[in-house]
């Protein structure tokens, strides 16, 4: 299995806020050692490796993870906690999962 992590650089050259949150959690938990490749999706450069991969896979949000399995299957994760739960196989906090879902989908209303 090969895991690719795609991070995003905004048009002003700064890293996206969500990328900072995800990378922080991954470094604190030691999960970064499970990542085989890191690509940058630089919004200022449509030819950047991460932007090319995003287009190829029809992914419209970053950061995201691509998991290439040994049997040829490929899974794409745009939700960090889902990636952790299904690939890294660590338990996640349901409240964190729900908060990430709400953050990623501002069109959803909170009750």
Kindly indicate the confidence band of residue 89, based on its pLDDT and cuts at 50, 70 and 90: confident
CB of 87 closer than 8 Å to CB of 5: no
Greater model confidence, 106 or 27: 27
39 forms bridges with which residues in the sheet? 6
List the 2-9 sheet strands across, edge first.
Answer: 37-42, 2-9, 64-68, 74-77
Residues 70-77: contacts with CB under 8 Å, at least 24 apart: 70/1
Is pLDDT at 100 greater than 70 in this prediction? no
Q: Three-state SS for 58? A: coil
Q: Count the residues in the chain.
A: 111
Greater model confidence, 12 or 93: 12
Spatial CB neighbours of 22, under 8 Å, sequence gap ≥ 6: 63, 80
pLDDT of residue 88: 86
pLDDT per residue over 47-82, tens digit each? 999 999 999 999 998 899 999 999 999 999 999 989
């Amino acid at each position: 299995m090969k895991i690719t992590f795609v991070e995003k650089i905004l048009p002003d050259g700064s890293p996206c806020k969500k990328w900072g949150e995800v990378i922080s959690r991954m470094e604190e938990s030691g999960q970064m050692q499970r990542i085989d490749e890191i690509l940058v999706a630089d919004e200022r450069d449509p030819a950047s490796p991460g932007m090319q991969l995003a287009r190829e896979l029809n992914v419209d949000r970053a950061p995201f993870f691509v998991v290439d399995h040994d049997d040829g299957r490929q899974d794409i994760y745009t939700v960090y906690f889902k990636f952790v739960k299904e690939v890294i196989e660590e338990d996640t906090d349901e409240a964190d999962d729900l908060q990430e879902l709400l953050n990623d989908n501002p069109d959803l209303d909170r009750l």
